[in-house]
Structure 1
Amino acid sequence: MLAAPAAAQVHEVASPDGTNRIAIGLNANGTPLYRVTRRGAQIITNSPIVLDLDVDSLGYGMAITGTEQASADASYPIVAGKAAQGRDHYNQLTVRFQEKGGAKRRMDVVLRAYDDGVAFRTVIPLQAATAAAIIRYEKTGFYFPEAYKCWGFNVGKFGSSHEGEFDPVDTARMRDHNLFSLPFLCETGKAAFALAEADLLDFAGMYLTGRGDGGLGLQLKLSPSLSDYRIAVRTRVGSPIVTPWRVVMLADKAGQLTESTLITNLSTPSRIEDTSWIKPGLTSWDWWSGPVIARLPGKRTSTEVSKALIDFAAENGWPYAMIDEGWYAGAGGGGVRRPGVDLTRWSDPINIEEVAAYAKSKNVRLWLWAHWEAIDDQMEEALTLYERLGIAGIKVDFMDRDDQWMVNWYSKLLAAAARHRIMVDLHGAYPPRGLARTYPNFMTQEGVMGAEYNKWSKRVTARHNVMLAYSRGLIGPMDYTPGGFRNVSPDQFRIRGDLPFVQTTRAHGLGLYVVFDSPLGAVADSPDTYAESPAGLEFLRDVPASWDETRFLAGETGAFIVMARRKGKTWYLGALNAEAGRTARVPLSFLGSKRHEMTLWTDGDAPNAVTKSERAMSGEDVLELKLAPNGGAVAIFRTR
């Protein structure tokens, strides 16, 4: 066990409202230990901050040589996401450490306290003793004072697409061979917190494991280099070594974490000066449904199918149509890049130049899919062509890595795309770290087990969807790709690749567009499906893809959630329910004193049916939502 720091050695910083505090000091071994409290209750107990470098560790035998305080309260625009702007309001404390012997290396720890969480990062200043050092491991801990009720995604390995369930975790039995993706959510009985990472640039991605000593809590583990698993980060001569922010999001209830912009607050400001060309919106999409269009039998990726999806987008007022895998020369390998693929030439069944011109005539723009290795080989050539063709964005897939090299490749791609005014959707991606602030053309991403899993599994349950709102959805946009309109009950669900089913109600599916944050929102099913079963489609014509404000209204972790999001003067409500039916009482105080006209879609008498109603409501009212098993609801509130 790590002994607590002596009181005289402890330095602390509090959030502007005084609710959250993070403190740091030294134990008897000279190791920096930090702790986190909320309203006086300990959330994270004394935990070490140690870096393993080339041949030894930095974080032992240290002395505190000074401190520096700072504060900030500034707003910045969020180009696309859960709010129109973020408020970067914090108090900061930098504590300077130096080894008492040996090379007397220096190390700073920067602590920040916000009203919605705390964060810290380690900075190794420029000094001869650490010039061009290698970071092998980071041994930062997140130690718990007691067993908590927690949920995590045990991804189990490095080098994955981070697609899986956030399951309950027995915190007394977390092992050092477990490997959890981010975020990691816990409830203490008095508060809720989520462990995450922000401002990941030129560094290796962060995972969490159980403690090697068997104690309560978690240990940080860095994604290793593919060329040498004993190395995580290669640093640059002439630059300080700066870790990303290690983040503890905090709230009284887990659902309130959904309102936080802490991850983007902590991230590097936009590197794109003019963002006027970045436009959120919904897109039709070919891949999820097959594509299958009855009047085009046997046609898959083709000029004809693409034009049909463009027509579908135009008819419904959506700005985009997405053409997935199979359109470029040599495509068809899915996750395997075939030799000789060419992103500047088309496969025989499709003429992208003709399709792009047709899209323009319909006031629709295209998104194009590409394997990341193909983009890497032809980046500038391909992006130059796409800009000339008026392509809106690219969906880049199968990176399946978060080592330092790939982290840097994300920035390389996003910067190059921005030069050509092209937006980006990353699939096969690690979970968000706030990069959408740094590159606002980064519209959305995977790193989530989304609706595609309906094509080959029964894993996308209503409970999974609800749990995503309380976990993966906390830290950034997710391209879950909703819109499946072949709704059936779980006992009637069967797996098929073309025209897949979904095992939730229609109202639940509509709720995904409000509860989940994705500035590029997929409308995933075939135009035929919507024509055959249009109930609720009118909501998708109205719902925005980016928001001015977000509110958590009601819920219980993993069981149900009700959220409201505002765009301009209009509020949108979304509710998701798991397998147990319930009636949720939802206060409408977010509406204020003005009367609003509410249009409400709730569960109907069959999975693919909705009940639509209208009435006047105000902030003094409480809305009673009857949520079916695997059900949901949506509503629009417009001022009278």
Structure 2
Amino acid sequence: MKYSVFAVVLLLLSGREAAAQNAAPLTARLDKVSLTFALAPNGQPTYAVQYGSKIVVKPSRLGLALAEGPGFEGPLELTGSEMSNVDDTWQPVWGEVKNIRNHYQQLTVHLRQPQAPNRRLDVVFRVFADGVGFRYEFPRQPNLTYFTVQQELTEFNLPANHKAFWIPGDYDSNEYTYTTSRLSAVDTTPIEAIQEKAAPTRVQTPLMLKSDDGLYVNIHEAALVNYPAMMLNVDTRTFGLTSQLVPAATGTAAYLQAPEHTPWRTIVVSDNAPAVLASKLILNLNEPSKIDDTSWIKPQKFVGVWWEMHVNKASWNYADTSNIKLAGTDWTKLQPNGHHGANTANVKRYIDFAAKHGLASVLVEGWNVGWEDWANNWKEEVFDFVTPYPDFDVTELQQYAAAKGVQLMMHHETSASVTNYERRQDAAYRFMQAHDYAAVKTGYVGRIIPRGEHHDGQWMVNHYVRTAQQTAANHIMVDMHEAVRPTGLHRTYPNWLANEAARGNEFNAWSAGNPPEHETILPFTRLMGGPMDYTPGIFQINLEPWNPARNQGKQVHTTLAKQLALYVTMYSPLQMAADLPEAYEQHPDAFRFIEDVPVDWDDTRILLAEPGDYVTIARQAKGRDEWYVGSITDENARRQEVKLDFLTPGQRYEATIYADGKAASWNKNPMAYQIQKLKVTSKSTLKLQLAPGGGAAVSIKPIK
């Protein structure tokens, strides 16, 4: 039988269309979690997720739009697939647990454009017992070398109008309080923007959701490298979520070169809230440590010249800014303002305090020239990161700290002039090494230079990773503030100890403050991606005594006992005792918990948790049979019963309970606390009474 060329073409095309329409769905599963991949009738790739019989994500679109002609919007055809299983265990350099199991089933799907230029795309799915991760991979191929991602088309179509815990999808800031609402009520319009105003229904990830049928779902991403952060656009009618990549200054999303891949899109799901907090899915999707010798990386507690500036007791700047000509200023001739915090005598006071109480480091902000020449003017050259103010003696303080067994922690505020910082990083890190600084806190306050780039865009994401790499090469630990929210990269770069990337404790000093529920939401949102430098430990809750004229009516929106509990519930290997030494000296008995609590752990148990309401966590100290418990609540008083069945059977312990006082509350009597000691065993149950906005902290040590 003979066919015309036209007929053959028709048969081939119809065959491809039939293959797209009739390709059997592919499924991967582990325990209760299952994922199904399929091609829709129009050839668009889709996926769906279930937890047991419950729908987590309805069939949802996959794909990317490219600037260089046809992208991967569909139609696409399936050319093959592979399935594999992995089950291994690894040990983090530091963390919440000693061992992490990495157990998943992987489905790799090979797709191709059915027409020229026949570009190829792989989608890799990993199904864990607590969720799913997937990413796009671009193989090396003739018709896709250098390319531009205009936008990602990934969807998360939810089955119902879930309860959501969200902040606006601001391209430049995560520093918002959380709104709790149904998806149908998401509206960022009434919220005052910090940097870049979010679209009315655009929200940030991690996005925490709770369904009416008892599922807890968290949507985020893992291993964000060479790609912009993903926001989510909410369809308030259908409850679908669509990815929104942070744009570059050019308006496009990402500039890539094959072979390449995107970050992982993550969906953590469980029928109980504690399991969400216990998930290691995001960490497992990151690459192992790229640092061979990690012996120099030291989780630690520190104090610093910092909070006194926030409470208007001191200033970052050395001189007054009103009557000085800043351009070409000779800093040695400036008239000091009389309240510069980073002066040699004051820093020595903090060093003495750290040495006395066993704290490893002292952070000093405002030590270097340039603070008078900033004021968010979008200025290219502000700081050089090596020139101290006249009243800050670098050599004297280096010697004084070394004699006390304490290290100084560097501060690099870039004023968001990142090009300036990158030009000067080598010199800055050499300066740190010459003066025995082992850690640096970087800051990115303001609008980014290069102008038009965003804090969460590809250009800045690459800067943060480069900074982690460069600091690692110089044996320097780093804590980044005003950076993109973390995605588990502290596994790959364990010198990257912490980020801020959320509304921290400092907002209690100079804004409406953080509502009491704030710290009960953060573990389910911001902390899903990695540790946060939240700066807990404020004892002087009422801020008026520091500066009555400027702090009238200002206070921290927690009790003192809750500030102690945050050292356990807000995980970080870098924890600041954030208040002033004189505040701690008034409460030496309560400060004992900060002295004792570790920052590195062998085990973590999420005992009780509900987003927006309460969190109770127990952690075992690294290498010791000691446990620490933190329990916090929102604006409601609660009674929490904590079973101690995680303790070693047969061993007797002494539990020291730092609790709210009987009449305590965050807004009326926040500094009332009581300390009680009990003998306990693995059969004991602690009954913790939490005041409104309060908490309890417990240390449990074996009786020898």
- TM class, shorter-chain normalised? over 0.9
- What residue number does 1:276 align with? 295
Q: How does 1:351-390 map to 2 (within 5 A)?
A: 351-372=393-414, 373=418, 374-390=420-436
What is the rounded CA distance, in whole Å, between the counterparts of 2:576 and 2:585 in structure 1? 17
Asked whether the 8 Å contact 1:484–1:500 carries over to 2, the reply is no
Q: Secondary structure at the match of 1:432?
A: coil
What is the rounded CA distance, in whole Å, between the counterparts of 2:36 and 2:214 in structure 1? 20
Offset at 1:323?
Answer: 0.5
Candidates 432, 439, 455, aligned match of 1:393: 439
Taking structure 1 as reference, are residues 88 and 489 closer, same or farther at Cα in structure 2, changes over 3 Å only?
A: same
- What residue number does 2:610 align with? 556
Stretch deviating more after TM superposition (609-618 or 181-190): 609-618
Candidates 25, 49, 57, aligned match of 1:10: 25
- What residue number does 1:411 align with? 465
User: Alpha-carbon deviations, 1:571-622, whole Å to 9, x = none?
Assistant: 1100111111121122222225243321111111442132111222233333
- What residue number does 1:570 align with? 626
Taking structure 1 as reference, are residues 173 and 102 closer, same or farther at Cα in structure 2, changes over 3 Å only?
A: farther
| Stretches of structure 1 lacking an aligned partner (at least 5 in a row) | none
Do structure 1's residue 232 and structure 2's residue 253 form an aligned pair? yes
- What residue number does 1:316 align with? 357
What is the rounded CA distance, in whole Å, between the counterparts of 1:338 and 1:30 in structure 2? 49
Amino acid at match of 1:395: K
Q: How does 1:69-84 map to 2 (within 5 A)?
A: 69-84=83-98
Amino acid at match of 2:162: Y
Amino acid at match of 1:314: A
Taking structure 1 as reference, are residues 340 and 600 closer, same or farther at Cα in structure 2, changes over 3 Å only?
A: closer
What is the rounded CA distance, in whole Å, between the counterparts of 1:127 and 1:629 in structure 2? 60
Q: How does 1:486-501 map to 2 (within 5 A)?
A: 486-488=540-542, 496=550, 501=555
Asked whether the 8 Å contact 1:383–1:417 carries over to 2, the reply is yes
Offset at 1:463?
Answer: 1.1
Taking structure 1 as reference, are residues 495 and 418 closer, same or farther at Cα in structure 2, changes over 3 Å only?
A: farther
Offset at 1:7?
Answer: 8.3
- Structure with higher Rg: it is 2
- What residue number does 2:221 align with? 197
Candidates 601, 605, 618, aligned match of 2:681: 618
Candidates 369, 376, 383, aligned match of 1:329: 369
- What residue number does 1:171 align with? 183
The alignment covers a number of residue pairs equal to 622
Taking structure 1 as reference, are residues 548 and 19 closer, same or farther at Cα in structure 2, changes over 3 Å only?
A: same
What is the rounded CA distance, in whole Å, between the counterparts of 1:263 and 1:575 in structure 2? 25
Asked whether the 8 Å contact 2:226–2:458 carries over to 1, the reply is yes
Do structure 1's residue 458 and structure 2's residue 518 form an aligned pair? no
What is the rounded CA distance, in whole Å, between the counterparts of 1:483 and 1:25 in structure 2? 51
What is the rounded CA distance, in whole Å, between the counterparts of 2:391 and 2:375 in structure 1? 17
- What RMSD in Å do the two structures reach over aligned CA positions? 2.4
- What residue number does 2:642 align with? 586
Do structure 1's residue 341 and structure 2's residue 379 form an aligned pair? no
Instruction: Give me the identity figure in percent.
Output: 31
What is the rounded CA distance, in whole Å, between the counterparts of 2:608 and 2:564 in structure 1? 18
Do structure 1's residue 29 and structure 2's residue 38 form an aligned pair? no
- What residue number does 1:210 align with? 234
Q: Secondary structure at the match of 2:146?
A: coil
Taking structure 1 as reference, are residues 483 and 334 closer, same or farther at Cα in structure 2, changes over 3 Å only?
A: farther
Offset at 1:186?
Answer: 0.8
Amino acid at match of 1:424: V
Taking structure 1 as reference, are residues 397 and 498 closer, same or farther at Cα in structure 2, changes over 3 Å only?
A: farther
Q: Secondary structure at the match of 1:536?
A: helix
What is the rounded CA distance, in whole Å, between the counterparts of 2:575 and 2:375 in structure 1? 22
What is the rounded CA distance, in whole Å, between the counterparts of 1:364 and 1:466 in structure 2? 33
What is the rounded CA distance, in whole Å, between the counterparts of 1:461 and 1:535 in structure 2? 27
Asked whether the 8 Å contact 2:343–2:392 carries over to 1, the reply is yes
Taking structure 1 as reference, are residues 494 and 217 closer, same or farther at Cα in structure 2, changes over 3 Å only?
A: farther
Taking structure 1 as reference, are residues 299 and 346 closer, same or farther at Cα in structure 2, changes over 3 Å only?
A: closer
Q: How does 1:115-130 map to 2 (within 5 A)?
A: 115-130=129-144
What is the rounded CA distance, in whole Å, between the counterparts of 1:489 and 1:29 in structure 2? 62
- What residue number does 1:599 align with? 656
Amino acid at match of 1:339: E
Asked whether the 8 Å contact 1:30–1:59 carries over to 2, the reply is no
Candidates 207, 210, 214, aligned match of 1:184: 207
Asked whether the 8 Å contact 2:509–2:556 carries over to 1, the reply is no
What is the rounded CA distance, in whole Å, between the counterparts of 1:6 and 1:508 in structure 2? 57
User: Alpha-carbon deviations, 1:329-371, whole Å to 9, x = none?
Assistant: 3234365667363222211110122212211111111111112
Asked whether the 8 Å contact 1:458–1:495 carries over to 2, the reply is no
Q: How does 1:240-255 map to 2 (within 5 A)?
A: 240-255=259-274
What is the rounded CA distance, in whole Å, between the counterparts of 1:431 and 1:201 in structure 2? 12
Offset at 1:494?
Answer: 9.5
Taking structure 1 as reference, are residues 578 and 455 closer, same or farther at Cα in structure 2, changes over 3 Å only?
A: same
Amino acid at match of 1:56: P
Asked whether the 8 Å contact 1:200–1:407 carries over to 2, the reply is yes
User: Alpha-carbon deviations, 1:512-551, whole Å to 9, x = none?
Assistant: 1000011111111111111223341000000111222221
Offset at 1:495?
Answer: 9.9
Taking structure 1 as reference, are residues 72 and 204 closer, same or farther at Cα in structure 2, changes over 3 Å only?
A: same
- What residue number does 1:46 align with? 59
Q: Secondary structure at the match of 2:608?
A: strand
Asked whether the 8 Å contact 1:292–1:499 carries over to 2, the reply is no
Asked whether the 8 Å contact 1:371–1:396 carries over to 2, the reply is yes
Taking structure 1 as reference, are residues 488 and 417 closer, same or farther at Cα in structure 2, changes over 3 Å only?
A: same
Asked whether the 8 Å contact 2:205–2:220 carries over to 1, the reply is yes
Asked whether the 8 Å contact 2:21–2:42 carries over to 1, the reply is no
What is the rounded CA distance, in whole Å, between the counterparts of 2:376 and 2:489 in structure 1? 24
What is the rounded CA distance, in whole Å, between the counterparts of 1:152 and 1:298 in structure 2? 39
Q: Secondary structure at the match of 2:588?
A: coil
What is the rounded CA distance, in whole Å, between the counterparts of 2:98 and 2:402 in structure 1? 29
Q: Secondary structure at the match of 2:27?
A: strand
TM-score (ref. length: structure 2): 0.84
Asked whether the 8 Å contact 2:21–2:43 carries over to 1, the reply is no
TM-score (ref. length: structure 1): 0.92
Q: Secondary structure at the match of 2:387?
A: strand
- What residue number does 2:123 align with? 109
Do structure 1's residue 300 and structure 2's residue 358 form an aligned pair? no
Q: Secondary structure at the match of 2:689?
A: strand
What is the rounded CA distance, in whole Å, between the counterparts of 1:264 and 1:531 in structure 2? 39
Q: Secondary structure at the match of 2:203?
A: coil
User: Alpha-carbon deviations, 1:181-235, whole Å to 9, x = none?
Assistant: 11101112332110010011111111111149x4212111111112x11x11101
What is the rounded CA distance, in whole Å, between the counterparts of 2:571 and 2:152 in structure 1? 31
Do structure 1's residue 93 and structure 2's residue 107 form an aligned pair? yes
Asked whether the 8 Å contact 2:513–2:557 carries over to 1, the reply is no
What is the rounded CA distance, in whole Å, between the counterparts of 1:540 and 1:95 in structure 2? 50
Stretch deviating more after TM superposition (605-614 or 89-98): 605-614
Do structure 1's residue 639 and structure 2's residue 702 form an aligned pair? yes
Taking structure 1 as reference, are residues 316 and 500 closer, same or farther at Cα in structure 2, changes over 3 Å only?
A: farther
| Stretches of structure 2 lacking an aligned partner (at least 5 in a row) | 1-19, 188-198, 315-336, 449-453, 664-668
Candidates 125, 139, 145, aligned match of 1:131: 145
Offset at 1:74?
Answer: 2.3
- What residue number does 2:331 align with? none
What is the rounded CA distance, in whole Å, between the counterparts of 2:423 and 2:581 in structure 1? 35
User: Alpha-carbon deviations, 1:414-464, whole Å to 9, x = none?
Assistant: 111111111101001111111111111101111110111112112312211
- What residue number does 1:503 align with? 557
Amino acid at match of 1:100: P
Asked whether the 8 Å contact 1:485–1:502 carries over to 2, the reply is no
User: Alpha-carbon deviations, 1:226-247, whole Å to 9, x = none?
Assistant: 2x11x111012xx323110000
Q: Secondary structure at the match of 1:255?
A: helix
